[in-house]
């Protein structure tokens, strides 16, 4: 999100999440500078479902592909967002957990990853 004058809400879900009608107050979705950014293939779906359809401006999110992520071989640890370790071992032998957002630690670096 940016400042109140330039608000961007990014939703990576290809299917619009079900939420209460009043999840966004009128100052959010009626703001002409508020943009809802969603996956390109889902923009028409978001435009047709409440409360997402209330946004006046829509943008698209470029989906990252696996080819854009470069990780050298070697030991790594993967945690779920609750901090529970779900994998430890050589990155070449990763047993991918269920779809979701995870934290990957490898070689002193930490990255947030999405498993689809």
Q: What's the whole-model pTM score?
A: 0.50
* pLDDT higher than threshold 90 for residue 44: yes
pLDDT bucket at 67, cuts 50 / 70 / 90: very low
Selection from 63, 59, 55, 16 nearest residue 37 by Cα = 59
- What's the confidence (pLDDT) of residue 47? 92
**Residue 45: pLDDT over 90:** yes
CA–CA separation, 55 vs 29, rounded Å?
5
Residue-wise pLDDT for 81-115, tens only, equals 889 998 888 876 777 667 888 888 888 888 888 77
pLDDT of the residue at 5: 60
CA–CA distance from 54 to each of 22, 24, 93 (Å)? 11, 9, 45
Q: What is the pLDDT of residue 71?
A: 52
Of 30, 33, 75, the C-alpha closest to 55 is: 30
Instruction: Identify the bridge partners of residue 109 per DSSP, sorted by sequence position.
Output: 106
């Amino acid at each position: 999100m940016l400042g109140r004058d330039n608000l961007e809400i990014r939703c990576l879900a290809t299917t619009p999440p079900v939420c209460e009608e009043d999840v966004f107050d009128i100052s959010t979705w009626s703001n002409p500078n508020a943009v809802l950014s969603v996956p390109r293939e889902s923009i028409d779906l978001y435009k047709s479902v409440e409360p997402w359809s209330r946004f006046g401006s829509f943008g698209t999110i470029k989906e990252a592909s696996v080819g854009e992520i470069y990780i050298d071989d070697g030991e790594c640890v993967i945690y779920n967002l609750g901090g529970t370790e779900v994998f430890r071992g050589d990155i070449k032998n990763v047993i991918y957990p269920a779809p979701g957002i995870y934290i990957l630690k490898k070689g002193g670096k930490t990255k947030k990853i999405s498993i689809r």
